[in-house]
Structure 1
Amino acid sequence: MRPSIRLASAKILLGRGLLLMIKQILFVCTGNTCRSSMAEALLRKMLTEDLTEQAATIRVVSAGTGAISGESAAQNAIEVMAREGIDLRSHRSRRLSADLINGADLVLTMTLEQKNTVLNMLPTAKNKVFTLSEFAEGVREIESLINQAEKIRTTLEEKRRKYLEKEGPKLEQLRRRNQELSRQMRALDEELRQFEQKMEQQVETEKRELETIQSKLTMLEIPDPYGQNIEAYKICANEIKQKLKIVVNRIKESLE
């Protein structure tokens, strides 16, 4: 079990005015060897430095959605943390589980995808799961952004509706024309396929004759052994030798 930090309980405002007594914070990333391991170590140090005069417990842990349990932290993470005065060499990764999520009072992920993974594993945790950036920006800031997005989405849909009211008939006409042209193209493709098939049937005899001649012509060549093993070179050399014997005999015959 990892060491816990004995510190004051921290009251943190979450969601819509919900006050939670934080006793355990869980950081989540993918492999639990880089981001979440560093976040765990950094927060543990910060809490120790900032809240040493208070006397409750806040336990900081981390896990990964796709982690292989028992792996060390990434070497680069160890080196970066060393510069912060933190020894990360004893860190061992752990895989995220529903029990870990359930045992935490606050879950901070590195990405929205990881946040969704946490919520899929334990939907009841929805009021305590945030991305780290989301939580750092503050809930009010996030709610403001969500409201802005909703207003923009409403405006977008309204503009789209008005445009369709004006240009809808033309758009529908273009769609029908596109469907008709697509149908014609499919028919044309089939007609071309049948034409080419019939043409090939007409020349089938000639194609077979050509293949036979090509096969005979290939026998007149010396295959290239490049890139092959030593046996291929031996076969090539022997074939050249046999051909050269015939050449030499013909030269002799011409001199007689």
Structure 2
Amino acid sequence: MLRILFVCTGNTCRSPMAEGLLRKLAAERNLDLEVRSAGVAAIDGNSMSRHAAAILRDEGVQGDITSSQLKIGHIEWADLVLTLTQSHKRHVLQVHPAAVGKTYTLKEYVQDEESVRRDLEELDSLYAGIELSRTLGREPESEDLQRVIEIRQRIPSGDIVDPFGGSREDYELAAAEIRSSLYRLLDKLESLRLL
């Protein structure tokens, strides 16, 4: 059984919507996977935002998802860690560098364009080298920093906008973006025979 962890900020909006929607979509396809979510700045036990909960109810998702603070154990449990933004991905890799081969933003993981995938892989490698230099007390190479800027300017955003504090429509837009990526995710996992 494949274990997927979604990560966002407070674990009250995007990642619980992704968790609930993926569970529902996987069940509709009779796919066996386990899904959890956590937040980099979450407080354990908080309820989902009312708009996120309403969207999941409208989608027929059963149960209540409460927030969890991201811990190393969550990352180690997961076979695949899917974050909702690049900054969440960087956070996961800073706290658990060994997760580099299994941590992606949701949108980058389902990205089909080969040139973008190569750029994203190079970006991951550059970030790892920069972080290592800083950990060792050295300044990162200026060429590496310049290359990061070049790549970031040409790749599409891997972020799903945070609807926190917004209107129901803001949440609907985020849910639609998540849902679209989840369809592509399931198609990809099935084609790779991971399910």
- Give the TM bin, normalised by the shorter chain: 0.5 to 0.7
Q: Could you tell me which runs of 5 or more consecutive residues in structure 1 were left unpaired when the two chains were aligned.
A: 1-8, 10-22, 158-256
- 2:45 aligned with 1:104, yes or no? no
TM-superposed CA distance for 1:84, in Å, is: 1.1
- Specify which of 140, 145, 163 is matched with residue 114 of structure 2: 140
CA separation in 2, counterparts of 1:96 and 1:64?
5
Aligned residue in 2 for 1:125: 99
Q: Offset at 1:136?
A: 1.5
Partner of 1:43: 22
Q: Name 2:186's counterpart in structure 1.
A: none
Q: State the Cα distance separating 1:70 from its structure 2 match.
A: 0.3
Change (3 A) 1:98 1:45: same
Following superposition, which runs of at least 4 residues in structure 1 exceed 6 angstroms of deviation?
147-150
Q: What are the equivalent positions in structure 2 for 1:174-189 lying under 5 Å apart?
A: none
One-letter code of the match for 1:75? R
**Residue in 2 aligned with 1:25?**
4
Distance 1:147 1:63, change over 3 A: closer
CA distance in 2, matches of 1:147, 1:94: 29
Q: Could you say what secondary structure the match of 2:60 adopts?
A: coil
The 8 Å contact of residues 64 and 96 in structure 1, kept in 2 or not, is answered as yes
State the SS of the aligned residue for 2:89. Answer: helix
Structure 1 or 2, whichever has the larger Rg, is: 1
Query: 2:81 aligns to what SS in structure 1?
Result: strand
**Structure 2: 5+ residue stretches without partners:** 124-142, 151-195
Give the conservation status (yes or no) of the 8 Å contact 1:26–1:106.
yes
Between 1:73-82 and 1:139-148, the stretch displaced more is 139-148
Q: Compared with structure 1, are the counterparts of its residues 148 and 59 closer, same or farther at alpha carbon in structure 2 (3 Å cutoff)?
A: closer
Residue in 2 that maps onto 1:184: none
| 1:68 and 2:47 correspond | no
- Distance in 2, matches of 1:82 and 1:147, equals 37
State the identity as a percent. Answer: 41
Is 1:78–1:87's contact at 8 Å kept on the other side of the alignment? no
Q: Are residues 148 and 114 of structure 1, via their aligned partners in 2, closer, same or farther at CA, if it must alter by over 3 Å? A: closer
Higher relative contact order (CA 8 A, sep 6+): 2
* Residue identity in the other structure for 1:26: L
Structure 1: distance between partners of 2:113 and 2:74:
23
- Equivalent residue for 2:60, pick from 85, 106, 110: 85
Sort the Cα spacing of 1:94 and 1:145 in 2 relative to 1 into closer, same or farther, 3 A.
same
Whether 2:88 is the aligned partner of 1:114: answer: yes
Aligned residues: 128
1:148 Cα offset (Å): 10
Q: Distance in 1 between matches of 2:113 and 2:22?
A: 20
Q: Secondary structure at the match of 1:120?
A: helix
Partner SS, residue 94 of structure 1: coil
Give the match's secondary structure for 2:110.
Answer: helix
Assess, with a 3 A threshold, how the Cα gap between structure 1 residues 25 and 148 changes in structure 2: closer, same or farther: closer
Contact 2:83 2:105 in 1 (8 A): yes
TM-aligned CA deviation for residue 147 of structure 1: 8.9
